[in-house]
Amino acid sequence: MTVRFAQWTIDALDVELMASFWSAALGYRVEREPDGSAHLRSPVDGEPSVWLQAGGAVKRDKNRNHPDLRPATGSTVDQEVERLIALGATRADVGQKGDEPFEVLADPEGNEFCVLHP
């Protein structure tokens, strides 16, 4: 028996800001919850959801884990990086050498994620 990845949960200082960023980044719809949290759901059945809940502290160190994303069909890494930056992401330096098969970005609260090259 095994388990399947179902949901990525993020503690957010500003749930609205993060819901806006991640829903636009992923193309997910936002379901706001009465407790102030937000559930982001994919338009494709079976894909993991994202849960944003209020809490946590200001991020100070490199993430111990992060999502790796790849551009959707018809889009390039460069196009996606520029789109994500326009949405509020920033480039992040986690010690890359420059020849990695990915681009490292950070969301509006500083959480790193990667956009993978093919």
Q: Domains for the chain: give ranges and CATH numbers.
A: 1-55 (3.10.180.10), 65-118 (3.10.180.10)
pLDDT at 63 over 90: no
For 49-103, the three-class secondary structure string (H helix, E strand, C coil) is: EEEEEECCCCCCCCCCCCCEECCCCCCCHHHHHHHHHHHCCEECCCCCCCCCCEE
- Name the nearest CA neighbour of 106 among 85, 78, 83: 85
pTM score of the predicted model: 0.91
Residue 56 has a pLDDT of: 77
Residue 81 has a pLDDT of: 98
Neighbours of 82 (CB within 10 A): 12
**Each residue's pLDDT tens digit, 81-115:** 999 999 999 999 998 998 999 999 999 999 999 99
**CB 103, CB 114: distance < 8 Å:** yes
Q: The tokens of 96 are what?
A: 């890359």
Average pLDDT of the chain?
94
Which DSSP category does 28 fall into? P
Q: Rounded CA gap, 100 and 37, in Å?
A: 35
Residue 59 has a pLDDT of: 76
CA distances 84 to 9, 76, 106, Å, are 20, 12, 9
Q: The tokens of 104 are what?
A: 């490292």
